[in-house]
Structure 1
Amino acid sequence: TATISTTTTVATTKTTRAALPTTITTATISTTIITTATISTTSNTTATMSTNNNTTATISTTNNTTATISAT
C-alpha cells in the first residue's frame, strides 16, 4: 500500500478599480472655433446655443435624458 499526499498552492491576485461617480450634474463643452451649435432634444424640440467669442459653453437639460449635439 502506497499513500500519496499532495498539496496544491494557487496564487491569486485581486484587482480593484476606483468607484465611478453615479451622477453627473454639470457637463461643460469647450469650443474654440465653433460659434453656433444646434441642440436636438428627444422630445422633438430644438434649442439653439450660440457663443460670442467664448471658449467654454455650458449645456444643461431639465427633463431630457439624452441630448444630441450637431455642429457644422
Structure 2
Amino acid sequence: MEAPPRPQPPQQEKSAAQIGEEYRAALFAQCAQGRHSPKTTYGPCGIITAIICFPFGLICLFSDTEKKCDRCGVQL
C-alpha cells in the first residue's frame, strides 16, 4: 500500500516590507544596467530669463537644465 501523502508545511507569506524591498532592488538593478528613468528640471534663473526676454530667453532656459534619474538620483 502507498503511504498517505505528507502534508506540506505552510508557505510563509512575504510581508509588505519584504515585497517593497524586492521591488526597490529590482528598480535599482535596472539603473545598474543603464536603463535610467530620466527627468529634466529647469532652473529658476532660466525660467525667469525665458519669461522676461522671450523668445531669446529660451536659450537660457534650455541651457539651465539638469537631467537626473527619478529612481537612483544619478545626474545623467
- Normalised TM-score (structure 2): 0.26
More strand by share: 1
* Structure with larger RCO (C-alpha < 8 A, sep 6+): 1
More helix by share: 2
Greater Rg over alpha carbons, structure: 1
- Normalised TM-score (structure 1): 0.27
